[in-house]
Structure 1
Amino acid sequence: MAKHLDLAEQEQLDELKHFWKQYGNLITWALIAVLGAFAAWNGYHYWQRSQAAQAAVMYDEIERAVQSGDTARIERSLADMKERFGSTTYAQQAGLLAARAYYDKGNVEASCATLTWVAEKAADEGYQAVARLRLAGILLEKKSYAEALQQLSSAFPKDFVALAADRRGDIMMAQGKKEEAKAEYEKAYKGLDERAEYRRLVEVKLNALGIDPAAGAAKTTAANTGVKP
């Protein structure tokens, strides 16, 4: 009986050797690939955390520079951050902060350049939208209307669509295109939440153009419900 079991075990061992000889390398490389991917995943996330931590420190430096009003220090710190951590959220936030500081100091060109960098390089579409809206506002002040409209020509995230329409309305008004401005302001008014304070500002703009959007909305509601306003 023992001899029979020894023979059976020997057969199993021979089969295992044959299997390993045929598929051993494939299994080994598959394991290496899986373990390598796992190690890379861990390494990547560690790198991300490290990058974010270092970027946060640099953001604090830029924030202190802005508070002190030291433009040269802002420029140096932002350039360093762009080079080392340009893909991080902190860099995008720092860009918006620096752009505002440049504008407040009267350095409009530096402000526009920084906003352009955020609009083109930011991974987050929200930061891109904010940068483009601010840049369009500065270009409007410079009477660079075509460039301002160009900043607003691309698609915006849902939460920014109404704000982009309002900004386009401002540009149209500056160009004396009242009908186009009305259309954009109406888009903005309809797109903003009823509880939003900014909606009241758009309403004032429409009132100045002879339109009462609140009354129009009431009539639309009445028509839809069959109730007289």
Structure 2
Amino acid sequence: MAYDHEEQEQMASLRAWWNQYGNLATWALTIVLAGYAAWSGWNYYQRNQTTQAAQLYNALQDAVTAKNNALVQRAATDMQDRFVRTSYAQMSALFAAKSAMDANDLKTAKAQLQWVIDHGVDAEYQAIAKIRLAGILLDEKAYDDGLKLLAGEFPAQFAADVADRKGDLLVAQNKLDEARSAYQLALDKAEQKNPGRQLIQLKLDAIGGATVKAAA
């Protein structure tokens, strides 16, 4: 059926608009669709990465339970190589460090803890790694290195643990006044229900510290 005059005018206007803006509109639509595809692909990649990391983490946990340190270390290294930006990588490194310490392999334990410090994406995991590594440095009599490691900012919930470890390092250096201050700070920052409070108090008493009142 032939178009009437009004329809012909509308078609002419549409053709004119398309001639002027059609190429731009096509590119805009292409960009939108490409962006959506990239977003969908990224979400799929993230879900796939998380699933694979979880499976590898479960395998590492099985190796920890079996006390197979060699397998634990391989799984942790694989996790770090493939899923470096996940929390699973940080947790795996901490478990691998503990496994290495149990196997009396301090070199590997230190390397795993240092990996968390250098590559961790969560401040909490980095804090745990620093405190544990400072404990190894205490055993190795690398007191200044341990204190340097504990300098700087830490999440508030680790204040008592950091101060306690500083106190241990300072006692080892026979810096008793500074150690008392560190232990006192640890007690001030520790929650009342913290089971470590009694041990901190014993260490403070052992170097001549006064009995402190419970934290509010």
Give yes or no for TM over 0.5: yes
Work out whether 1:53 is the aligned partner of 2:24. Answer: no
Distance in 1 (alpha carbons) for counterparts of 2:68 and 2:49? 26
Q: Is the 8 A contact 2:147 2:169 kept in 1?
A: yes
One of 90, 93, 96 as aligned partner of 1:92: 90
The residue number in structure 2 matching 1:166 is: 164
Distance in 2 (alpha carbons) for counterparts of 1:25 and 1:114? 55
Q: Is the 8 A contact 2:83 2:89 kept in 1?
A: yes
The residue number in structure 2 matching 1:34 is: 32
- CA offsets, 1:8-53, max 9 Å, x none? 4433433333333333333332222222222222211211111121
Distance in 2 (alpha carbons) for counterparts of 1:30 and 1:203? 68
- Alpha-carbon RMSD across the aligned residues, in angstroms, is 2.3
Between structures 1 and 2, the one with greater helix share: 1
Give the Å deviation of 1:169. 1.5
Q: Is the 8 A contact 2:131 2:165 kept in 1?
A: yes
The residue number in structure 1 matching 2:69 is: 71
**What is the aligned length?**
214
The residue number in structure 2 matching 1:116 is: 114
Give percent identity, aligned residues only.
Answer: 43
Q: Is the 8 A contact 2:69 2:100 kept in 1?
A: yes
Give the Å deviation of 1:125. 1.5
Q: Is the 8 A contact 1:98 1:111 kept in 2?
A: yes
- Structure 2 stretches of 5 or more lacking a match? none
Distance in 1 (alpha carbons) for counterparts of 2:80 and 2:93? 9
Give the Å deviation of 1:123. 1.2
Task: Please identify, of 202-211 and 54-63, the stretch whose mean Cα deviation from structure 2 is larger.
Answer: 202-211
Give the Å deviation of 1:63. 2.0
Name the aligned partner's letter for residue 204 of structure 1. Answer: L
One of 190, 193, 201 as aligned partner of 1:192: 190
Q: Is the 8 A contact 1:162 1:189 kept in 2?
A: yes
When normalised by structure 2's length, the TM-score is 0.87
Name the aligned partner's letter for residue 202 of structure 2. Answer: V
Distance in 2 (alpha carbons) for counterparts of 1:119 and 1:125? 9
- Structure 1 stretches of 5 or more lacking a match? 219-229
The residue number in structure 1 matching 2:11 is: 13
The residue number in structure 2 matching 1:226 is: none
What pairs up with 1:205-216 in 2 under 5 angstroms?
205-208=203-206, 209-214=208-213
Distance in 1 (alpha carbons) for counterparts of 2:60 and 2:7? 72
When normalised by structure 1's length, the TM-score is 0.83
Give the Å deviation of 1:76. 2.5
Q: Return the structure number with greater relative CO, CA threshold 8 A, min gap 6.
A: 2
Q: Is the 8 A contact 1:206 1:213 kept in 2?
A: no
The residue number in structure 2 matching 1:225 is: none
Which SS does the other structure have where 1:154 is aligned? coil
Cα gap change, 1:210/1:184 in structure 2, threshold over 3 Å: closer, same or farther? closer
- CA offsets, 1:80-123, max 9 Å, x none? 22222222222211111111011011111111011111111111
Distance in 2 (alpha carbons) for counterparts of 1:65 and 1:171? 33
Give the Å deviation of 1:74. 2.4
